[in-house]
Structure 1
Amino acid sequence: MNERKAAHLNHSELWEQWKEHGDKEAKKQLIEKYLHIVEYVSGRLAVGLPKNVSKDDLASNGVMGLIDALEKFDYGRGLQFETYASWRVRGAILDGLRQGDWVPRSVREKAKKIEDAYQHLEQRYLRTVSDEEMSHYLDVSEKEFQNMIQEVAVMSIVSLEDPIREEESETRLSLLVDEKAKNPDHKVNEFTLRDALAQGIDKLTEKERIVVSLLYYEDLSLSEIAEVMSLSPSRISQLHSKAILRLRATLDKQRDLLMRKD
């Protein structure tokens, strides 16, 4: 099909030409039509990332995710491509970040130390622990603890997107959404982890719950949440980091229990 003819095709006709006839020009137009998804997702993920992470690299990985979505999407089922593509684009960008190893080892170790502290103290007291209690346990001042939280904030952007187990593709965030039916044993474990996640969210402070809700359910950016809550972006980032570290600790504890049962 020539470019002039393709230019006059409507949306459904472009999908038909691409999926049924493999028309490259139709595919090109679909890519151009949905580039705004890449711009939106990469823009949201860029918030809070270190300056050494190139926005162009994020967008480039996002485009690869968009192309992958176009390749695999079944347009005949009448589903929303935008929703499907957003997850593919997001996944491609996060994969690129992980492969680039953009978080220094020292930051990862610090995040793990805080996560373990949350898990230990909340298991001991069976409640949400305060910053003062965390500082005392870690043997640092409250100001130093706040600085630690701020330093590991960049890790929390992909924390819920990380695999529950290194050898698996299932992520913590996938526990929040319905998946295709799986075998009974897997389902039991999944429901157990989802219940643990729900309990973990209930134990967050009110402000932490609001941040998690606005970010992951209402799809607001950190800067938008800061405006809604009348707090600084850095404070929102800090609340988000603490919430994610608490939830990681809760899920990792439950995961270890399930592994011991297996």
Structure 2
Amino acid sequence: MSKQDLMEEDTSWDLWIRTRDPEAGDILVQRYTPLVTYHVQRISSGLPRNVSRDDIMSLGLHGLFDALTKFDPSRDLKFDTYASFRIRGTIIDGLRKEDWLPRSSREKSKKLEDEITKLEQKLLRHATPEEIASHMGMSVDDVYQTVHEHYFSNVLSIDEKVNDDDDEGLKSFVIKDQETKTPEQRTLMTELVGDLITKINELNKNEQLVLNLFYTEEMTLTEIGEILSLSTSRISQIHSKALFKLRKLLASEIVDGGIL
């Protein structure tokens, strides 16, 4: 950002904070819209195809405006950080309220999980996506997508809310059991981390790299695609396949096992 742009942004912030000047507000919205786009891309990677990207963007922009309205520059907190919590929180709350995954999809997801369990009990090992697809009479891509949606719906089911009275005005994640972890839970968590490391090391190089760039470096699927010279859809497929391979640990242990 040039010196002139910085001066314009500082002036806009001053006008917005003091007088809620509409023009200054528009300038700030334009300045931080790329931040909204970033979070929309990351969250959308786990959503089914029927969810409109425009609807997610609209929720994100609403979160940005909420952040602009409530931000207190006197606090020792960068606006980018504050806005990120508000943007993500608004999108996730909106998705939950709209019940983005239809009942039919939830039933399909539950049936798939049940059938995978039955198939693996019969095989006495983890079933491959191809074996599951053949067993269910569906395509391999549908298997990946359904498992991905099931995992993301579990993430959204965590009880979250925005606590406006929080000292930092940030997103508060409220999970029912706030008590200190028991020795058994700590032991289970240690074992889980070890299992995850082992399982991740069993993924191929592309799958490991995509997971690392997406979850550790917090890059979007589009950015990862540019690095690997692959299309966004191809990166999304690699991401889904990697999560599928880790599904037992990620979905069952973390979400259903009470480790959180």
The TM-score, its normalising length taken from structure 2, stands at 0.62
Partner of 1:199: 195
**8 Å contact from structure 1 (residues 18, 27) kept in 2:** yes
Which ranges in structure 1 are unaligned for 5 or more consecutive residues?
A: 1-7, 171-178
Q: Between 209-218 and 113-122, report the one with greater CA deviation.
A: 113-122
**Secondary structure of 1:185's aligned partner:** coil
Q: Report how far residue 81 of structure 1 moved.
A: 1.7
- 1-structure distance, mates of 2:178, 2:128: 41
Partner of 2:165: none
Q: Report how far residue 103 of structure 1 moved.
A: 2.8
Question: 1:59-80: per-residue Cα shift (whole Å, max 9, x none)?
Answer: 2211111022223434233433
Partner of 1:4: none
**8 Å contact from structure 1 (residues 110, 148) kept in 2:** no
Partner of 2:211: 212
Paired residue type of 1:253: E
Counterpart of 1:147 (choices 129, 141, 145) is 141
Partner of 1:176: none
Counterpart of 2:54 (choices 42, 53, 56) is 56
**8 Å contact from structure 1 (residues 69, 85) kept in 2:** yes
| Pairs within 5 Å for 1:62-73 | 62-73=60-71
Are 1:185 and 2:180 an aligned pair? yes
| Pairs within 5 Å for 1:236-255 | 236-245=235-244, 247=246, 249-251=248-250, 252-254=252-254
Counterpart of 2:132 (choices 130, 135, 157) is 135
The 1:240/1:47 distance shift into structure 2, 3 A limit, reads: closer
Which ranges in structure 2 are unaligned for 5 or more consecutive residues?
A: 1-5, 162-172
Are 1:101 and 2:66 an aligned pair? no
Question: 1:188-243: per-residue Cα shift (whole Å, max 9, x none)?
Answer: 86996587367335413234332221222233333443454465654533332243
The 1:186/1:38 distance shift into structure 2, 3 A limit, reads: same
Paired residue type of 2:63: G
**8 Å contact from structure 1 (residues 215, 221) kept in 2:** yes
The 1:244/1:36 distance shift into structure 2, 3 A limit, reads: same
The 1:163/1:29 distance shift into structure 2, 3 A limit, reads: same
Q: Between 54-63 and 98-107, report the one with greater CA deviation.
A: 98-107
Matched pairs, number? 235
Counterpart of 2:37 (choices 11, 36, 39) is 39
Q: Between 215-224 and 187-196, report the one with greater CA deviation.
A: 187-196
**8 Å contact from structure 1 (residues 115, 249) kept in 2:** no
- 2-structure distance, mates of 1:192, 1:14: 51
The 1:221/1:66 distance shift into structure 2, 3 A limit, reads: same
Paired residue type of 2:199: K
The 1:34/1:194 distance shift into structure 2, 3 A limit, reads: farther
Q: Report how far residue 249 of structure 1 moved.
A: 3.7
**8 Å contact from structure 2 (residues 210, 235) kept in 1:** yes
The 1:37/1:229 distance shift into structure 2, 3 A limit, reads: closer
Are 1:222 and 2:217 an aligned pair? no
The 1:194/1:230 distance shift into structure 2, 3 A limit, reads: farther
Identity level (%): 38
**8 Å contact from structure 1 (residues 118, 134) kept in 2:** no
**What is the RMSD computed on CA atoms of the aligned residues?**
4.6
**8 Å contact from structure 1 (residues 119, 246) kept in 2:** no
**8 Å contact from structure 1 (residues 214, 220) kept in 2:** yes
